[in-house]
Structure 1
Amino acid sequence: MEQEPPLVREVFPELIDELVALLEAEGERDLSITVRDVRMVGECGCGDDFCQSIRTADHPDGQPYGPDHRCVPLLPSTGDLILDVVAGRIVYIEVLGRPPMRRPAQQLDLPA
């Protein structure tokens, strides 16, 4: 049986906490609830050093998301956070120009 991808909140809990707060501030209540349950399907993989974006659903190769797609730009204190939403589902989290995100396991390895 194939294992499900991890929840983004398990990999980057601080990012999800920030997204919840920003979505609430933008009046995006439904998205602020569903962002807690998005799964990390993969990282962007573009190779740009300013990009830490996360795929939360499979993307149609070379194809646009379709007519039910909308972008939800948020206003973080640093960098850019933009959600791609299709039919009410978050399919991509753009994380651009921000300090490196740390996974919980990496945080444990830091000296005190």
Structure 2
Amino acid sequence: MEQDAVEQLAVAQDGPLVRDVFPDLTAQLVRLLEAEGEHRLAVCAYDLRLLAECDCRNAFCQSFRTHRHPPGTPYGPGHRMVALDPGNGFLNLDVVDGRIVYVELVDRPPAAPGLTAAVRRR
């Protein structure tokens, strides 16, 4: 395995499982992805790790990273955005090479008061 791949795997495993912190959100992600025909992403959604919260500090944002952001912005080749319809607010996923790297939660009821605490426990 290449060093970069080993490093990415280590980073991806360094955080609590989203399903443990936000079980209802994980269930919703899986359900919405299945409904969109995104079966591979639905499987991936069950094993997402909470790596870092969004640093925008806006009250309406509960977004978080599930993988380290590559240098530069935007994500580059292999990136696509998957917009889901949760019925309230916005739920968008940044996907790079078939991997969910960022979950955007905007204008939604609080997922849980534990986002910051879960990220800081790492």
Deviating beyond 3 angstroms after TM superposition, the runs of 4 or more aligned structure 1 residues are: none
Partner of 1:21: 31
Calculate the aligned-residue CA RMSD, in Å. 1.7
2:59 to 49, 62, 68: 49
| Identity, % of aligned positions | 55
CA positional deviation for 1:14? 0.6
Structure 1 residue 91 and structure 2 residue 93: aligned? no
- Separation of aligned partners in 2, 1:86 and 1:16: 19
TM-score (norm 1): 0.86
Partner of 1:30: 40
Structure 1 residue 65 and structure 2 residue 79: aligned? no
- Separation of aligned partners in 1, 2:34 and 2:113: 24
> For this pair of structures, how many residues does the alignment match?
103
CA positional deviation for 1:76? 0.6
- Structure 1: gaps spanning 5 or more residues: 105-112
- Separation of aligned partners in 1, 2:71 and 2:57: 18
Amino acid across the alignment from 1:93 = V
CA positional deviation for 1:54? 1.0
Partner of 1:5: 15
Retained in 2: the 8 A contact 1:7–1:40? yes
Q: Secondary structure at the match of 2:27?
A: helix
CA positional deviation for 1:66? 1.1
TM-score (norm 2): 0.79
Q: Which has the higher helix share?
A: 2
- Structure 2: gaps spanning 5 or more residues: 1-10, 115-122
CA positional deviation for 1:77? 1.2
